Structure 1
């Protein structure tokens, strides 16, 4: 069991990218490559936040911020720490810090766990991208926070 008082979110720096990549790769079958994470991290519109526990990165959320809109690009928790509400912690952090922004995301239609998480935070489906994902081919559900 972890001590939630020792958990905090901090803005990620370039030294975090390898840990972020490894967390993503362990959770997502077709995760971004390390090069994609590095490129995205260096994009002027990207912001990354690391979920820290005892100086260890145990999760992260990444977003693009363009004018008054935030798009969640990735959210992932280390396998060792799944199932105890840490995705909620990251979503709370994001929503509390970007409450004046329109918040959007896209998610695989088969990712029911993520969809239920987003619905809990008042996200609703606003569209679809047919066959957006490959391996396997699958629709992306576009969701917006209301």
Structure 2
């Protein structure tokens, strides 16, 4: 994948791409999309949430989204179309989310991941997230524990 074609940008909550978000999630999550298409529509319309999209030639291929509140951020979802996995798209989305956190003064980022999702856990661990807790029976369809992971923002040189 030539890097010049990949673009990461902030999602505008006025865009109406909930169906595309849902389609990617339905394709890539082991148990289908964690949200319904209506939930995507409602979530993406909330301007207080932060979503970034990855596109190639204006085609949505992945996204990351969550909330930034006071000094903490939370990643709600990260998904990349199967055709573009293992090409560092998720890494670039995560880095862009971290940059936004840095700009907003966020110090810690949290997320939940299914206990059985070893691929996601390894990805987050490679990106310096650490498991800090377990939420029993957090997920349904099927019922499963969630691992809570945390990333602590690094201080940049010259920043106190």
Instruction: State TM-score, norm by structure 1.
Output: 0.92
Q: Distance in 2 between matches of 1:80 and 1:44?
A: 29
Instruction: Name the counterpart of 1:58.
Output: 61
Deviates more, 1:105-114 or 1:13-22: 13-22
Bigger Rg, structure 1 or 2: 2
In the TM superposition, 1:81-92 aligns within 5 A as 81-92=84-95
Q: 1:69 aligns with which of 68, 72, 77?
A: 72
Cα RMSD (Å): 1.3
CA contact (8 A) 2:62 2:78 kept: yes
Q: How far apart, in 1, do the equivalents of 2:150 and 2:110 lie?
A: 5
Of residues 43, 46, 59, the one that matches 2:46 is: 43
5+ unaligned residues in a row in structure 1: which ranges?
none
> For residues 122 and 44 of structure 2, what CA distance do their matches in structure 1 show?
27
CA distance in 1, matches of 2:126, 2:93: 13
Q: Number of residues paired by the alignment?
A: 145
Distance 1:145 1:57 in 2: 27
TM-score (norm 2): 0.85
- SS of aligned partner of 1:15: coil
Q: Tell me if the contact between 2:80 and 2:89 (Cα under 8 Å) persists in the aligned partners.
A: yes
Question: Does 31-40 or 7-16 show the bigger shift?
Answer: 7-16
Distance in 2 of aligned mates of 1:9 and 1:27: 19
Q: Which moved more, 1:100-109 or 1:11-20?
A: 11-20
Residue number in structure 1 paired with 2:21: 20
Corresponding position of 2:3: 4
